[in-house]
Structure formats: structure tokens, C-alpha cells
Amino acid sequence: MRLGLDAPARPRLRVEVAGRDRFRVWQETRPVLLGKVARGNYGVHYLRLPGYVPVLPPITAAVARAAPSWPHRYATWLSGGAGPLHTGWWALRPWRPSWAEAVWRHELAADPAGYLDWCAGWQGVLPMRPPPGTEQGRVKAYRKLAREGVLPPLLLWWVSGLDGWLLLDGHARLAAALAEEVLPPALELSLAPSPGQIDERIGHVTRNESVIAARLERDRGAGRPGVDGAARARQWHFGAVYAGVPAERERTRAWPLPGGVPAWAEAAAAAPPGWAADPG
């Protein structure tokens, strides 16, 4: 589903940048995640800080078993302003990794500090809280829902500066799904193109297609072989691109970090030794 918002101009959960290679995720009154892009743009160092608060209310077993429309329910909760929504267009849609369940474990950056290697193809999920133990009461309750097939979805936020997702809500549900060895359902929240941007991009695709179609017609008139197959392939490609434009993600919006690099460095004082040292 798509959401068009007029407010707020500055969300309570947001990305703030300092310089060309440093950023943080800010919630309410405190930083909850720091990031530093490695030299050469090979990856990003991250440091999760304490204090993050989930952006959705607790989901009871009764609500889960009622099987509501989760995108609509989550959109209603997020409209209360606790999450990253700001003025513009957003997409909230089902998300499934293209990998096997085992890769969920591999691509889950659960440590409080680490390095996300873009050159190695990292495009995973970064939890905003430490993973709870499987014997905690909430996890036990969600494990039962996972066995029943009614586990509420995780809420992921696509952050382009990470080239991955932040787990905004559902840490206990994720722990329950992994304990039950099932693939957790998830919804992805991302900034989406506006109607004007969609029209502009589709117009660009249409113009390119017209040029190629005219060239194929000239080739057909000249009796060149393989034109019909090429035309069918172009039509399929055009249809796929046309349908995919509304689903494109926009780059995550960021705000200037008050205090700049010194303020970022002050928060980074909590990092373990050697954090953010670029790999050799």
C-alpha cells in the first residue's frame, strides 16, 4: 500500500548526517544507532546504542489470531508519529528475503557493533535492540503463534545509507520465528516515488521503447532475421519496467546532525576499541 503524508516535516525517528561519511539514527531525544561509511565506500561501520523504543504497540495473541490487514493496521499505528514517517510518499508492503531461512541468521547483524561489507553483497537486517532469549515470556507466546501460522509481521525500514533494513519492531517475533525454524513474515517501509516522479519515469521508459520499436520495424522491413523474437523480448522487458516503477524505493531522507562531526564523535565514545577502523 502507498501512503501520502503532509506531516510531520521532521519525524521523531530519523536519520541525521554529519559530513560525507557519518550519520546517526535519532529517536526522540537520543541517538540509537551510529554509522560511518568506510573509506572507498566499501561498507559501513555501525554501532547500536541503548535506549531504542519499538514504534508499534504490543500485539496481543487475540489481535494476531483475528488476522487483521497488517499493512493497514501498521499504517494506522505509524500515523501516530512514533516512527520515521515524514512528509512525502511511502510504501508499506510485504517483504520476503530471496534467500533461504538459514541466510536470515547469516545476514542478521545482531551484534551491537560491526561492519556491513557491501563488497561482499551484504543487504541484510540490522536489529535496533538486542535479541531476546528464547525462554522469555514474550518469545514463548510468539513461538506458539508461529506454530499456528499467525505470527504478526516484523516491521523493517529500508535505509539507503545502510543498503539494508533496520528492524523497527518485532525483535521478540523474530526470535520466536528463528527458534521455530520458520521464515518470519515481514513488512517493508520505504520512501516511495511521488505520482509526478512515477509519471516522469514511465514517460522516459515509454520514449525509449518508442525509439527501439521504430528501430525493430526498420529491421523487419529490411528482412533481418530474429526481429519478432527481439520484439517479444522488448515487450516483456517494457512491461516489467513499467510495472516496477511505482515499486521503486527512493533514497532515505536525512537531516543535518546538530553539532556536526564533534557531536557524532561524542556519541561514538561508547564504541569498543578499534570500531570504525577501515578494513585493510
Res. 117: pLDDT tops 70:
yes
Q: Domain for residue 275, yes or no?
A: no
Q: Are residues 236 and 107 part of one domain?
A: no
150 close to 62: Cβ distance less than 8 angstroms: no
Distance between CA 59 and CA 137 in Å, rounded? 14
Which uninterrupted H or E stretch holds 185? Answer: none
What strand order describes the sheet that includes 113-117? 113-117, 43-48, 30-37, 22-27, 13-18, 254-256
**Cα torsion through 259, 26, 132, 78, rounded to 10:** 180
State the maximum Cα–Cα separation within the chain, in Å, rounded to a whole number. 73
Res. 202: pLDDT tops 90:
no
Q: Are residues 264 and 147 part of one domain?
A: yes
Query: What band does 235 get if pLDDT is binned at 50, 70 and 90?
Result: low
**pLDDT tens across 32-43, in order?**
999 999 988 889
**pLDDT tens across 46-97, in order?**
999 999 999 999 999 999 999 899 999 999 999 888 899 999 889 999 987 7
CATH number (domain holding residue 112): 3.90.1530.10
Q: Domain for residue 277, yes or no?
A: no
Q: Are residues 234 and 220 part of one domain?
A: yes
Higher local confidence (pLDDT), 118 or 49: 49
Distance between CA 237 and CA 217 in Å, rounded? 17
Average pLDDT over residues 123-147: 91
Specify the pLDDT at position 226. Answer: 58
Query: What band does 171 get if pLDDT is binned at 50, 70 and 90?
Result: very high
Between the alpha carbon of residue 229 and those of residues 224, 235, 239, 254, the distances in Å are 12, 10, 16, 46
Specify the pLDDT at position 199. Answer: 58
Higher local confidence (pLDDT), 247 or 240: 247
Domain count of the chain?
A: 2
Query: What band does 140 get if pLDDT is binned at 50, 70 and 90?
Result: very high
Q: Are residues 214 and 82 part of one domain?
A: no
Res. 221: pLDDT tops 70:
no
The residue to which cell 521523531 is assigned: 12
- Return phi, psi of residue 189, to 5°: -105, 125
Q: Domain for residue 273, yes or no?
A: no
Domain range spanning residue 37? Answer: 2-192+250-268
Terminal Cα-to-Cα distance of the chain (whole angstroms): 43
Q: Domain for residue 152, yes or no?
A: yes
Q: Are residues 180 and 97 part of one domain?
A: yes
- Cell output for 93: 508492503
Specify the pLDDT at position 264. Answer: 94
Q: Are residues 206 and 102 part of one domain?
A: no
Q: Domain for residue 274, yes or no?
A: no
Q: Domain for residue 203, yes or no?
A: yes
Query: In the chain, pLDDT over 90 holds for what percent of residues?
Result: 48
- Cell output for 98: 530471496
Q: Are residues 201 and 171 part of one domain?
A: no
Query: What band does 168 get if pLDDT is binned at 50, 70 and 90?
Result: very high
Average pLDDT over residues 140-166: 94
Q: Domain for residue 44, yes or no?
A: yes
Specify the pLDDT at position 122. Answer: 72
Average pLDDT over residues 103-127: 76
Q: Are residues 234 and 152 part of one domain?
A: no
Q: Are residues 86 and 213 part of one domain?
A: no
Distance between CA 193 and CA 222 in Å, rounded? 41
Task: Give pTM, 2 decimals.
Answer: 0.83
Specify the pLDDT at position 250. Answer: 86
Q: Are residues 100 and 85 part of one domain?
A: yes
Res. 101: pLDDT tops 50:
no
Q: Domain for residue 206, yes or no?
A: yes
What is the chain's mean pLDDT, rounded? Answer: 83
| Residues 6+ away with beta carbon under 8 Å from 42 | 117, 118, 119, 278, 279
Q: Are residues 208 and 186 part of one domain?
A: no
Q: Are residues 175 and 105 part of one domain?
A: yes
